[in-house]
Chains A and B, each alone.
Chain A
């Protein structure tokens, strides 16, 4: 799962290069947002979702375990 999540983040970074509608305005999302901007707003939303998955499946528990067993303040 860990590899899948980080793999998806890499895929998102690749999909960030949206050259396919680099020179398009339409469709206008909600009637006023050009597709290029709406797509990237979507990239931000997907980034949030993927980072939420990273927290769920790739969380570095060992760092907190280490702190509980021998951390100092």
Chain B
């Protein structure tokens, strides 16, 4: 078997296993809407941890982290991962547990139900609906497009007679993008369709274990092949020392100029073409802290929170989440940094001027480990993609069923069976529509949207925080917050060339800082000058002493 065929076998086995697990979970399905959408609020600590972690960590945790480290050095861990470790847990502790409690008490299934009730406004739901769905859709597309691209690139050469590709020689014989994406969508759809949120929780637990273990195995295998981790780091110090720190110095520039001169004088002898020294902007680094606040407003995470058996089920997630981020990110960041200067057999592992940083992890694994491990790594990448996709598909199905059909068309008179049926139909429709968009517009142009989606959700953080902790927040304040977010977000998004400028900063800060500031200001000022909520609502959400 050639490496492409080995990858196909591993992927097929992995997907079959996942499908079996999803179908098995459906044997526990009780036939009720509460069970389909919320697993009868019976998910324990371990499954909650795994499903929350699997949902928040996308493929970016594996391929994006190594790619970012390849381009910008070790500082990406502090900028992206350690902030997330602190802030995600804060959101679980301060937001998740309270929403779980209110959800259980008042029977909420979606965020929109909660906000409608809390702000005594039906129309706020209508305003939030397109925003929340609109922010999740690019996120879904990124997952489906990534899955298709990953399958296509790693199965190259597998079936040259079945899938000839004369246009792109390197992809000759690979499983076509549309087919790879279709199979992944189908698998996710089947286990979400039959298993509901319990199916996604089980699948996420399995997939989270897969991608965590594979990240660590890849790290040790690559380190070994490079002559040990110390030698791999020593090579980076020799050729690209700025990648081992957050800010480049004049000494780094001198090393760069010396190595570049050597490279230009004799490319065979110099081996590695150095990369330009890179510094992480300090204000950008600080203001990145706003991005992880997005988890407080993710509709798919809201749904997972409501599945918890008790408030105590959150404890493991709150403590273990930062550690799990560390376990996944540190090895991937080191692999990305080593890739800048890795030499095997007198040749660079990554070719000079390599443009696609996100492919660095796959290349390191392919060139430095066995085809079997390469196949497993692909399974790990697919696991990371699918463990987010499944929750997003289900939550959109849930929003359409509960917030639109049940609320507006049947005045909340749907039976349990009808709700499950609608939920399943919407899951199928959303998967099919997402797939068709992903195949029609197959474009990497959607990838920069990720940080903008996160920025949008993060900027709505003040809304959920105030809803839970500030009795004086008003309906008008909530509208103002959502409007301010939408306007500021759109303005800055246009300013960035609609996401084209990936390094876009506003006043040297992440754009989310400005959007967050505007949404908070609008929420506070408008709330203070408008009529406070009714005492009935205050009592409902803050207890009798709150009125």
Interchain CB contact under 8 A, A9 and B86: yes
Question: Whole-angstrom distance from the CB of A46 to the nearest CB of chain B?
Answer: 9
- Count of A-B contacts with CB under 8 A? 140
Chain B residue nearest to A37 in the complex (CB): B74
Binary CB contact string for chain A from 35 to 53 against chain B (1 if under 8 A, 0 otherwise): 0110111011101100110
Say whether A4 faces chain B, with CB atoms less than 8 Å apart: no
Interchain CB contact under 8 A, B318 and A32: no
Interchain CB contact under 8 A, A24 and B245: yes
Say whether B54 faces chain A, with CB atoms less than 8 Å apart: no
Interchain CB contact under 8 A, A44 and B81: yes
Say whether B385 faces chain A, with CB atoms less than 8 Å apart: no
Contacts of B93 in A (CB 8 A): 51, 54-55
Prevailing SS type, chain A contact patch = helix
| Size of A's binding interface in residues, CB under 8 A | 41
Interchain CB contact under 8 A, B85 and A43: yes
Q: Which of B228-236, B261-269, B388-396 lies at the interface?
A: B228-236
Say whether B16 faces chain A, with CB atoms less than 8 Å apart: no
Question: Whole-angstrom distance from the CB of A14 to the nearest CB of chain B?
Answer: 10
Interchain CB contact under 8 A, B82 and A16: yes
Q: Which of A13, A18, A44 contacts B289 (CB 8 A)?
A: A13
Interchain CB contact under 8 A, A45 and B41: no
Bound CA–CA A30/B182 (angstroms) = 44
Question: Whole-angstrom distance from the CB of B251 to the nearest CB of chain A?
Answer: 9
Q: Which of B97, B286, B326 contacts A44 (CB 8 A)?
A: B326
Prevailing SS type, chain B contact patch = helix
Q: Which of B86, B107, B322, B330 contacts A37 (CB 8 A)?
A: B330
Q: Which of B276-291 contact A (CB under 8 A)?
A: 282, 285-286, 289
Say whether A67 faces chain B, with CB atoms less than 8 Å apart: yes
Interchain CB contact under 8 A, A37 and B334: yes
Interchain CB contact under 8 A, A73 and B101: no
Contacts of A18 in B (CB 8 A): 78
Bound CA–CA A70/B237 (angstroms) = 62
Interchain CB contact under 8 A, B244 and A25: yes
Say whether B387 faces chain A, with CB atoms less than 8 Å apart: no
Say whether B98 faces chain A, with CB atoms less than 8 Å apart: yes
Q: Which of B298-346 contact A (CB under 8 A)?
A: 310-312, 315, 318-323, 325-326, 330, 333-334
**30 sampled A-B residue pairs with Cβ under 8 A:** A9-B86, A12-B86, A16-B83, A16-B289, A17-B285, A23-B245, A23-B246, A25-B244, A31-B229, A32-B233, A33-B233, A33-B334, A36-B74, A36-B245, A36-B246, A37-B334, A41-B82, A44-B81, A47-B89, A47-B322, A48-B322, A51-B89, A55-B315, A60-B98, A63-B311, A64-B310, A64-B312, A66-B105, A71-B104, A72-B106
Show the binding face of A for B, using Cβ within 8 Å: 9, 12-13, 16-19, 21-25, 28, 30-34, 36-37, 39-41, 43-45, 47-48, 51-52, 54-55, 60, 63-64, 66-67, 70-73
